[in-house]
Amino acid sequence: MIFHITSQHDYESCEGTQEQRGEDVRPRSERQQWVEGNDKVKVIGAYGYQTQHRYYAIVEADDYADVQALFSAAGHIRAGEVEVVPVNDAIAKRKEFGEWGKYPV
């Protein structure tokens, strides 16, 4: 299954901000490790919108719980809102239906 993830925290709960204030936080190399995925979740794409402290990701996994576990371990669920939405691959579906490239726009 493919999932679209939106994860957002605020300025105060931002570990980067906390680090700049001299607070004890995990190193960035650990905080950002989620973008590599794991044995159960493949990260297809990961994008940040730093101005709004927001991340977007497209991931593939067999189970929603595995996606939740990845983002929970990364601290996203603790720091703010995380939305996990199962989505369809519209390009693959169009090709599956035999409609790809057959109709002019």
Domains of the chain, residue spans: 2-96
Residuewise pLDDT in 10s, the chain (105 residues): 999 999 887 777 777 777 788 888 777 777 778 899 999 999 999 999 888 888 999 999 999 999 999 988 777 766 778 899 999 999 999 999 999 998 877
The CATH superfamily holding the domain 2-96 is ORF SCO4226, nickel-binding ferredoxin-like monomer (3.30.70.3090)
The secondary structure of residue 40, as a DSSP letter, is: S
Cα dihedral 38, 48, 7, 76, rounded to 10, equals 60
